[in-house]
């Protein structure tokens, strides 16, 4: 996109005048943001239209990425970057007396996701557009995103996230592309004159699904793809149906709020409604679009790939069957063949509590026709597979069982591909969670290690680092992340290593300023910034990190004059509102922060910073400032993790268990450049098998650890009498489900090592460099290219 600075200024002032009928100095940063957004859209409009047209005329196979969460982050800078407009706009605004960095802060951060799953979906959309893949997102336009988190007296308090209050400049409502989604009622199959059966519906609750499209701009390639988010509304009232307030509310509720559960199944009827709502609307719009350009359905699978991001969109499978059979007169066999060719599924977790199942009665009542189809899928699966695999295995793996609809099994059976998100995770899927289905369909299983977009996580979030990299290796790494490897040539370049520590210092100063402003807390910038940012979950073991803080605290208290390498422990984490234990950990962290931060003996040497309301925008400030990346989940529990990759790319060293993608990060950067520790998956599983884990033995055998655990209940930490007891009990009475006590010693040994190693800045920055250089392997563009080649079978730009 080429616009001169002068042209931009004219356009911007005209936009201000049109929108607000006033002059520039009478507008707020929010007004300016909206004007700028409109202008960016005007500049990009021709690309968006041209992209859609090109896909049509070239009959390009379309990928539809279905996800119940998308966590795109603020879009202004990402769009300017990808359109190559950052410099022009920055200068133009400056000449008008405005500051781009102030305006960008006025943009709301759409929190339409919980964490890694939703952020992954957003990274992949960016990568698809940047690789010139005809890729579309399909999801929900939540009226309220993930709650805003406050701390009151150290407790998490949730406030609604009214992100649409001032509208959303990036979206386009397309009411003419609406469709009807049916819930409930009765359905029966009516014989037709031609001998076929056609379903008839009575007393259904109909909901209008209205799409809001957001342009997804590719990096410097004139491609703009579409993210389509659906909103539930009252159907157009041609026949003057009467809707009671309760009925109106029920419709409104469908897209009102994102369920705040990460790696956990909500199990609520409303969640099932949300799932069918965006799934049905999405598949209807795909089929409608296809039919507008093709005759008959036979080539459908050559033109369409549908991706199921975790099980939440699994109903695309029976919904496509329904449309093909009921509306497009396909036989079961043709419909099933097409469906399986089109569908692919990514599993993101092996946690039992995250695996979605729906009680048959609930499912059947809400989705009677879809239930019939699932029951038929189940019947045929059993009939075909029992003679080959035996009744026991088939019974264990069928879509229906124990009175439940088992979404993951349905997703595997109805797809041609199922993948995990890191090699270790994929192996566990095959061996454990989906072992039965792996026996039936071994060829469907494959791994696709997660990836992140370095354009957002380095180029935008860490401009000083990006500039430093450009100066040495050129800027082509933005297109081809693998080129970061060429940085290794500078491993022994003292000048470059010094630059890296200056970059880190600048980012720490920025974070320290934010902390001072938001928390009124001073943190020194020569300390080790030890960062754990992710959802609060027992398996992620923020508790282990708290134990290290207490160890350091006791160390200083015991020997106030002994040398101590200064540390700042930084947390960002939201707990699901109903997750009692996670909320107790939040209170604990805040109580420990309160204790440590105000202790005059400790002084500035040790600080604990828990920044409320962690999300994409905060991540963009915290991650570039990190020295240490805490990735300390119990081995086997974290499917991949993606903050590990973002922190690595920003030069943090990983303090990590052998879990998820940590394994691959350690391998890529070299173990000597990270701090691996803890039980391996094999060791964890051995404990499970033998049932011989005894948390108490670790407690009794280690006085330092005992003192820390006791401090939860002996009054050392003020204000946690109930939470402290609860956490204490989880460890000793309930035998420490996540092996915190077992991993304590090896974790702390590495923490001590970190304090020692950090003092040699040259050696430290050399290892930071190794991490940055190796992070290219985790670029989203590479990950998406592998999906395109192996799963979706669509062409894409080559990266080399």
Binding site for ligand TH1 (CB under 6 A): 114-117, 120, 261-263, 310, 348-349, 354, 421, 450, 638-642, 660
Written as one string, the DSSP assignment of 460-501 is IT-HHHHHHHHHHH-SGGGT-GGGGGGGGGGTT-HHHHHHHH
646-to-532, 665, 765 alpha-carbon distances in Å? 12, 11, 17
* 191, containing H or E segment: strand 186-191
User: Strand 528-533 and strand 628-631: pairing?
Assistant: parallel
Identity of the residue, 109 or 275, whose beta carbon is nearer to ligand TH1 in the bound complex: 275
H helix count then E strand count, the chain: 32, 23
Provide, rounded to whole angstroms, the least separation between the CB of residue 70 and ligand TH1.
12
Q: How far is the CB of 191 from ligand TH1 (least distance, A)?
A: 42
Residue 474 to residues 479, 486, 780, Cα–Cα distance (Å): 11, 10, 20
Closest CB 381 distance from ligand TH1, rounded Å: 24
Q: How far is the CB of 274 from ligand TH1 (least distance, A)?
A: 12
Cα of 307 vs its chain's centroid, Å: 16
Can you spell out the DSSP letters for 628-688? EEEE-PPTTS-S--SHHHHHHHTTPEEEE-S-TTHHHHHHHH-GGGSEE-S--HHHHHHHH
Residue 598 annotated in active site: no
Residue whose C-alpha is closest to residue 135's, from 800, 798, 785, 799 = 785
Which of 322, 540, 574, 796 is flagged as catalytic?
A: 540
Q: Which lies closer to ligand TH1 via its Cβ, residue 72 or residue 116?
A: 116
Least distance from ligand TH1 to the Cβ atom of residue 538, Å: 13
CB of 541 to ligand TH1, least distance (A): 13
Quick check: is 646 catalytic? yes
Cα 247 to chain centroid distance, Å, stands at 33
Min separation Cβ 125 and ligand TH1, Å: 14
Marked catalytic residue, from 141, 348, 587, 796: 348
Q: Identify whether the C-beta of residue 303 lies closer than 8 Å to the C-beta of residue 59.
A: yes
For residues 415 and 419, which CB has a smaller minimum distance to ligand TH1 in the complex? 419
CA dihedral 400, 404, 408, 410 (to 10 degrees): 30
Smaller CB distance to ligand TH1: residue 265 or 525? 265
348 tagged catalytic:
yes
Complex with ligand TH1: residue 399 or 641, whichever CB lies closer: 641
Alpha carbon distance 140, 207 (integer Å): 14
Torsion angle of the four alpha carbons 38, 44, 49, 50, in this order, in degrees rounded to the nearest 10? 170
DSSP reduced 3-state for 305: strand
In the complex, minimum distance from the CB of residue 661 to ligand TH1, in angstroms, rounded to a whole number? 7
Backbone angles phi, psi at 793, to 5 degrees: 55, 55
* Residue nearest ligand TH1 (C-beta atom): 116
Catalytic, out of 228, 430, 535, 537: 535
Beta strands of 234-386 (E only): which ranges? 304-309, 343-346, 357-359
Sign of CA dihedral 639, 643, 648, 652: negative
Tally of residues, the chain: 800
Q: Quote the DSSP letter at residue 192.
A: P
Facing residues of 187 across strands?
201
| CA 128 – CA 122 distance, rounded (Å) | 10
- Reduced to 3 states (helix: H, G, I; strand: E, B; else coil), residue 280 is helix
DSSP assignment of 515-533 equals HHHHH-----TTSEEEEEE
Q: Closest distance between ligand TH1 and the C-beta of residue 659, in Å?
A: 9
- 312 close to 358: Cβ distance less than 8 angstroms: no
Considering the complex, state which of residue 504 and residue 646 has its C-beta at the smaller distance from ligand TH1. Answer: 646
Contacts of 20 (CB under 8 A, 6+ apart): 26, 27, 31, 35
174 in active site = no
Kindly state the smallest distance separating residue 271's Cβ from ligand TH1, in Å.
10
Q: Is 540 a catalytic residue?
A: yes
Q: How far is the CB of 373 from ligand TH1 (least distance, A)?
A: 24
Choice among 273, 307, 534, 607 that is catalytic? 534
Strand 145-152 relative to strand 155-161, pairing: antiparallel
Q: Nearest Cα to 532, choosing from 665, 646, 424?
A: 646
Instruction: Indicate which residue of 468, 525, 642, 716 is catalytic.
Output: 642
Residue 578, judged by CB atoms within 10 A of its CB (0-12, 13-18, 19+), counts as exposed
Q: 205: which DSSP letter?
A: E
Instruction: Quote the least distance from Cβ 680 to ligand TH1, whole Å.
Output: 17
Question: Is residue 108 within 8 Å of residue 37, measured between CB atoms?
Answer: no
535 is catalytic: yes
R_g over Cα of the chain? 27
Closest to ligand TH1 by CB, 307 vs 479, is: 307
Bridge partners of residue 189, in order along the sequence: 199
Where in the sequence numbering do the catalytic residues fall? 348, 534-535, 540, 642, 646
């Amino acid at each position: 996109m080429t616009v001169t600075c002068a042209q931009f200024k004219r356009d911007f002032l005209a936009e201000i005048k049109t929108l607000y009928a006033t002059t520039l100095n009478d507008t707020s940063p929010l007004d300016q943001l909206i004007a700028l957004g409109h202008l960016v859209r005007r500049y990009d409009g021709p690309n968006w239209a041209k992209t859609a047209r090109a896909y049509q005329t070239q009959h390009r196979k379309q990928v539809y990425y279905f996800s119940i969460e998308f966590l795109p982050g603020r879009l202004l800078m990402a769009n300017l970057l990808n359109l190559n407009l950052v410099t022009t706009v920055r200068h133009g605004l400056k000449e008008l007396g405005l500051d781009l960095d102030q305006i960008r802060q006025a943009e709301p951060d759409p929190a339409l996701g919980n964490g890694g799953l939703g952020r992954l979906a957003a990274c992949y959309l960016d990568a698809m557009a940047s690789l010139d893949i005809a890729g579309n997102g399909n999801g929900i336009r939540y009226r309220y995103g993930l709650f805003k988190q406050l701390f009151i007296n150290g407790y998490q308090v949730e406030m609604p996230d009214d992100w649409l209050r001032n509208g959303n400049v990036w979206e386009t409502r397309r009411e003419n592309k609406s469709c009807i989604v049916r819930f409930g009622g009765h359905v029966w199959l009516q014989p037709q004159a031609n001998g076929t059966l056609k379903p008839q519906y009575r007393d259904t609750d109909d909901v209008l699904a209205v799409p809001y499209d957001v342009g997804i701009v590719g990096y410097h390639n004139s491609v703009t793809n579409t993210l389509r988010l659906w909103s539930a509304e009252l159907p157009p009232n041609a026949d003057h149906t009467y809707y009671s307030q309760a009925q109106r509310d029920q419709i409104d509720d469908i897209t009102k709020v994102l369920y705040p559960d990460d790696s956990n199944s909500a199990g609520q009827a409303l969640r099932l409604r949300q799932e069918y709502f965006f799934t049905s609307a999405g598949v209807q719009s795909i089929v409608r679009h296809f039919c507008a350009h093709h005759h008959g359905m036979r080539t459908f699978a050559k033109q369409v790939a549908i991706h199921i991001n975790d099980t939440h969109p699994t109903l695309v499978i029976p919904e496509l069957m329904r449309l093909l059979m009921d509306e497009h007169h396909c036989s079961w066999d043709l419909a099933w063949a097409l469906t399986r060719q089109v569908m692919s599924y990514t599993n993101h977790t092996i946690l039992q509590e995250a695996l979605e199942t729906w009680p048959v009665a609930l499912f059947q009542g809400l989705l009677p026709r879809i239930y019939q189809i699932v029951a038929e899928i189940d019947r045929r699966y059993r009939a075909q597979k029992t003679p080959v695999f035996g009744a026991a295995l088939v019974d264990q793996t069928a879509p229906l069982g124990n009175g439940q609809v088992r979404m993951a099994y349905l997703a595997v059976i109805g797809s041609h591909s199922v993948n995990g998100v890191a090699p270790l995770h994929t192996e566990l899927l095959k061996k454990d969670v989906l072992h039965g289905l792996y026996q039936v369909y071994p060829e469907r299983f494959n791994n696709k290690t997660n990836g992140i977009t370095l354009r957002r996580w380095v180029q935008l979030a860490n401009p000083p680092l990006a500039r430093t990299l450009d100066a040495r290796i050129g800027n082509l790494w933005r297109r081809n992340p693998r080129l970061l490897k060429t940085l290794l040539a500078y491993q022994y370049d003292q000048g470059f290593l010094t630059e890296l520590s200056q970059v880190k210092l600048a980012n720490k100063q920025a974070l320290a300023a934010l902390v001072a402003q938001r928390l009124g807390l001073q943190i020194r910038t020569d300390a080790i910034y030890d960062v754990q940012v992710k959802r609060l979950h027992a398996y992620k073991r923020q508790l282990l990190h708290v134990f290290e803080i207490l160890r350091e605290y006791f160390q200083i208290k015991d020997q106030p004059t002994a040398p101590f390498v200064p540390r700042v422990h930084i947390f960002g984490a939201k707990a699901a509102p109903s997750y009692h234990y996670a909320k107790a950990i939040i209170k604990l962290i805040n109580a420990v922060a309160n204790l440590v931060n105000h202790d005059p003996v400790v002084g500035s040497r040790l600080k604990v910073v828990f920044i409320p309301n962690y999300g994409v925008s905060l991540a963009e400030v915290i991650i570039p400032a990190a020295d240490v990346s805490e990735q300390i989940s119990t081995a086997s529990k974290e499917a991949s993790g993606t903050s590990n990759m973002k922190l690595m790319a920003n030069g943090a060293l990983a303090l990590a268990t052998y879990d998820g993608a940590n394994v691959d990060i350690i391998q890529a950067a070299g173990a000597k450049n990270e701090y691996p520790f803890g039980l391996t998956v094999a060791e964890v599983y051995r404990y499970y098998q033998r049932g011989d884990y005894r948390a108490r033995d670790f407690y009794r055998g280690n006085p330092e650890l005992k003192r820390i655990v006791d401090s939860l209940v002996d009054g050392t930490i003020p204000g946690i009498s109930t939470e402290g007891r609860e956490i204490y009990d989880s460890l000793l009475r309930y035998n420490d489900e996540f092996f915190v006590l077992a991993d304590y010693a090896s974790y702390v040994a590495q923490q001590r090592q970190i304090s020692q190693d950090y003092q040699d800045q040259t050696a430290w920055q050399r290892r930071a460099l190794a991490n940055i250089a190796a992070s290219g392997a985790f670029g989203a563009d590479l990950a998406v290219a592998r999906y395109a080649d192996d799963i979706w079978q669509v062409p894409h730009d080559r990266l080399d």
